[in-house]
Structure 1
């Protein structure tokens, strides 16, 4: 950040992130795909001569970063002015002293990979063989952790760590005619000991069987019962339309209607 300020920035924010994730995907309780990934990156938010630019890189060598920052400053000067884009008022920054949000499972690194696979196998077994119409059962276990650090030129400095775990299952069955309905279920948690580990495969099967016999209906006005899992699809267009960016770009069906 200091290097950016010395090379033409009037204000700056730097964000660092390091994280990893693992997933085990099974088909009919047999291992199908194993994936493990990790990443580290730095993001720059530069305020230069009334202009604002954001830049990100995963090449964290000091010499390369100096060149990256200089190029970012110069590139920002080519952008249109944005006088409304400034760092937040420093008086509103979090000053510390609040309770730990407990977003990180302290046992995250101690979880045995064999136990992860066993969890995915167990939820697959909940559905396999339970109905003769079943075509396939896919199940998966996933987890990840991340560390974030952020600092601004007007006084904020903070960091956070978090972890997550998830179990999911999807089931496909033979329906009427050529129909092959499928559905899924999942559970997630910040802590492994609080993750719901039973019923995921069973729920996925139940949701799939409910789709058998679905038929198209004529267009019209109907009273509609919406599955809570799909409620976001109904609300997303309205929420997207009231984003400040959508209104500013005149890309909203609610423009001049609020």
Structure 2
């Protein structure tokens, strides 16, 4: 990883390259231009059954430029940072723009919306890459999982990753900004079996953070992976029925993801969303709040500006259960006749307001129903909101877990599921850019293989 002096030199170099290519684009006839240049390096290490499986060092850099000739757009990229290669990329983008059809929404975001400062969001915590230390973390993690029980019979291994990146964006409004970031991850997956005649189960746990010192303890990650695997042993099917469904906090992030996919500007202007033109409508019960926190210190998705250079800011997407905002970049906002919400490139650090119920209280509220801990497949129709996913988890009776279940499918419609949300727990205990507790849905169809 880079030291401070090296980082300052690289940052200054990337700023200079962006400024030069923007100036060159002007010389070649561009009426406006924008570019992003980035570099990254990292370490990926896997261990399995107490031995190193793979070690990979990564290093990458790339430059992408977009030019506008009037309302015609051209794009080009290069991994060669030589002056000649960069100038060729600019010239290629200009040529492409001259052969494209005009687009009334092609162009830069309003200059007044550009980030005027790049605050320090505490995203950069470099660590000198040390394979021996990383190996020890991964080995400790896997061994802790294998030590939990003799019923842990195999391992898919433990994975450690470390990445450092630096990205600089600039455009012909005169804005050039960039910031470094780091990320670290440790995960473990193990296999369990009750007896040689019984079926096997696997599960995992993980930790992803900005600073190495914030990683969860390797032994805790390993034990959690093993405990989740052991809880799955003896899984059985269910007969087809309707029942309340509790999505674990990790699985509830997928429901939030479906919501955000439906309110993205692209889905709205292409009319490919089950939430088309629903701005201002009640989607959830009045106690539901979902907001974005892009300036969260050490946030896994924090950023001071979006990919249009627009300053990011905290906002509500769902307020008192009402859809309060779409997620728009400059282009999609133009197509919809609205203003950008600084979400070009995606949303950053979603936070779902959590209630008072912990996991045990949620299970009591569920009563008799399905507790979903894993989902499979991509069965979400973004046009209609129809939802059908393979699932595993636990059948709950009288507020207590009765037995694990597998090979089932849960089905419903997202509009109905959102409206019939009964509770959101306070049991968020994992790292992620979406923070939510478990979601309890009043009723869904559960299709099983049993008669």
TM over 0.5: yes
| 1:3 aligned residue (2, 24, 34) | 24
Pair 1:13 & 2:31 matched? no
- 2: distance between equivalents of 1:97 and 1:74? 33
Q: 1:219 to 1:80 in 2, by over 3 A?
A: farther
- Structure 1 counterpart of 2:204: 184
- 2: distance between equivalents of 1:21 and 1:35? 8
Q: How does 1:101-250 map to 2 (within 5 A)?
A: 101-106=121-126, 108-109=127-128, 111-137=129-155, 138-174=157-193, 179-198=199-218, 199-250=220-271
Q: 1:64 to 1:241 in 2, by over 3 A?
A: same
- 1: distance between equivalents of 2:122 and 2:177? 15
Deviation per residue, 1:8-42 (Å, 9 max, x gap): 21111111101011111011121111111110110
Bigger Cα displacement from structure 2, 176-185 vs 202-211: 176-185
Indicate the SS of the match to 1:196: coil
Q: Residue 21 of structure 1 contacts residue 143 of structure 1 at CA under 8 Å; is this kept in 2? A: yes
Deviation per residue, 1:65-90 (Å, 9 max, x gap): 22222111111233332222321222
Indicate the SS of the match to 1:45: strand
- 1: distance between equivalents of 2:240 and 2:72? 50
Q: Residue 12 of structure 1 contacts residue 44 of structure 1 at CA under 8 Å; is this kept in 2? A: yes
Indicate the SS of the match to 2:247: coil
Deviation, 1:155, is 1.6
Q: Residue 165 of structure 1 contacts residue 192 of structure 1 at CA under 8 Å; is this kept in 2? A: yes
Indicate the SS of the match to 1:154: coil
Q: How does 1:243-258 map to 2 (within 5 A)?
A: 243-258=264-279
Q: CA RMSD in A?
A: 2.0
- 2: distance between equivalents of 1:17 and 1:179? 47
Indicate the SS of the match to 2:246: coil
Deviation, 1:140, is 1.4
Gaps of 5+ in 2: 1-21, 280-451
Q: 1:181 to 1:79 in 2, by over 3 A?
A: farther
Gaps of 5+ in 1: none
Deviation, 1:178, is 5.8
Bigger Cα displacement from structure 2, 144-153 vs 209-218: 209-218
| 2:55 aligned residue (26, 30, 34) | 34
Pair 1:80 & 2:80 matched? no
Q: 1:154 to 1:97 in 2, by over 3 A?
A: closer
Q: 1:80 to 1:219 in 2, by over 3 A?
A: farther
* Aligned pairs, number: 255
- Structure 2 counterpart of 1:92: 113
